[in-house]
Structure 1
Amino acid sequence: MSTKFSNQVAVITGGSTGIGLAIAKAALAEGAKRVYITGRSAKSLDAAVTTLGTAAVAIVSDVAQQADLNKLKSEIESRGDQVDALFANAGIAETNELGTTSEDEFAKSFDINVKGVFFTVQTLLPLLKEGSSVVLTASIVANKGMPNLSLYSASKAAVRSFARSWANDLKTHKIRVNALSPGYTRTPIMENGLKLSAEQIVALQEQAKETVPLGYVAQPDEIASAALFLASSEASYINGVELTVDGGLTQI
């Protein structure tokens, strides 16, 4: 078993399901001492901890609320931990139609996907070790023009931009910041965010056979392995980049 995260502490926002949970599992499998996972659902977090075991600490936290981020910081400090790897992963994916989009819809997407990422990193910055790593979950939609996804796409473009700026802002601390952009990935966001029916999900999987060079929709652990690579010493000279993990979809 590899131990590239031996005795390290990782924080994963949005860590109760999907890609975030897969990152937490992978970090522990690689020897992490402790993983902190956050989410808005206590039920989902409890289920995640049952899966992850005693090295996982679950904290009900909404990244769009500064008070919740302060609570997360306090929880980490109370255990005397400093952070080796921060995965700012929490986000939502919802459709919107240009012409009928409300201010509330706009605020929801940008509060969670942009404000949430910004203030997660800013709040936890004092706990990040010299030479630590930050991985931001963006998306291939930041570089595409998919219909009815303008809010989601723009919010993820902002996340990708943060990786560039923060790589420069944090250079004196030797903290690396990179963006991870998944393609089609089978997570609960398909049902809970995009509101896809079972039939639509099957149709997407069939479409992937034709449009994705590798021919299928990714599983969360395939995205998580790329996230751990970016956070690990194996990526020690990789900084400010966007790593696209989409089976080749955006390359053709």
Structure 2
Amino acid sequence: MDVLVASAGAWMWNEPIGDVTEESFDAVFGVNVRGTFFTVQKLLPLLSDGASIVFIGSGAADKGDPGTTVYAASKAALRSFARTWTTDLKQRGIRVNVLTPAAIDAAAFADLPPGFKERTASRVPVGRLGDEYEIATAALFLASADSSFVTGIDLPVDGGIGQV
């Protein structure tokens, strides 16, 4: 196997720290952290030397938005995995990177409060929401030989919303 994209994502919307339960914490960390960890661990013997691992992160890991405490921490864990596994797997030449989308016009917007999508789009420096194709293109870059000297990074694909 040459490429592994770990794209797990479970989250609780608007769950302030005082409302977090053991069940909701375990559900989010179970999918985002535990699921990612053991997926890679179990597939590691199948990965070829020089393979690429790409995690799908979230801009929430860097922002500190209210109500995202557990989700944000779970996605920050992926960033830590990329850093440590870059050195753990260097003898095999396996590259590990995080692709961090934000402000993407995806189905998840349907479950958010009315007006959220429009408010988000108005904050994006490029003046629009991104689309899923733009995330796929960035993932292909990180998976390809075109990024052979790229490892351990977090690549924001967010129209600049997390950058300015």
- Normalised-by-shorter TM-score class: over 0.9
Q: Give the corresponding residue for 2:51.
A: 132
Secondary structure at the residue paired with 1:130?
coil
Please, what TM-score do these two structures have when normalized by structure 2?
0.94
Residues 181-223 of structure 1: per-residue CA shift (max 9 Å, x gap): 10111223334xxx315xx2xx233223431101112111111
Task: Please give the alpha-carbon distance, in whole angstroms, between the structure 1 residues aligned to 2:103 and 2:39.
Answer: 25
Q: Give the corresponding residue for 1:179.
A: 98
Task: Please give the alpha-carbon distance, in whole angstroms, between the structure 2 residues aligned to 1:162 and 1:133.
Answer: 14
Number of equivalenced pairs: 163
Compare relative contact order (CA 8 Å, sep 6+) and give the higher one, 1 or 2.
2
* The one of 161, 175, 183 aligned to 2:80: 161
Q: Give the corresponding residue for 1:84.
A: 2
Q: Give the corresponding residue for 2:161.
A: 249
Q: Give the corresponding residue for 2:138.
A: 226
After the TM superposition, which parts of structure 1 deviate over 4 Å for at least 4 consecutive aligned residues?
none
Task: Please give the alpha-carbon distance, in whole angstroms, between the structure 2 residues aligned to 1:190 and 1:127.
Answer: 36
Q: Which moved more, 1:168-177 or 1:212-221?
A: 212-221
Q: CA deviation at 1:116?
A: 0.6
Higher strand share: 1
List gaps (5 residues or longer) in structure 2: none
Larger Rg, first or second structure (1 or 2): 1
Secondary structure at the residue paired with 2:156?
strand
Please, what TM-score do these two structures have when normalized by structure 1?
0.62
* CA RMSD across the alignment: 1.2
Letter of the aligned partner of 2:21 in structure 1? Answer: S
Secondary structure at the residue paired with 2:2?
strand
List gaps (5 residues or longer) in structure 1: 1-82
Identity level (%): 45
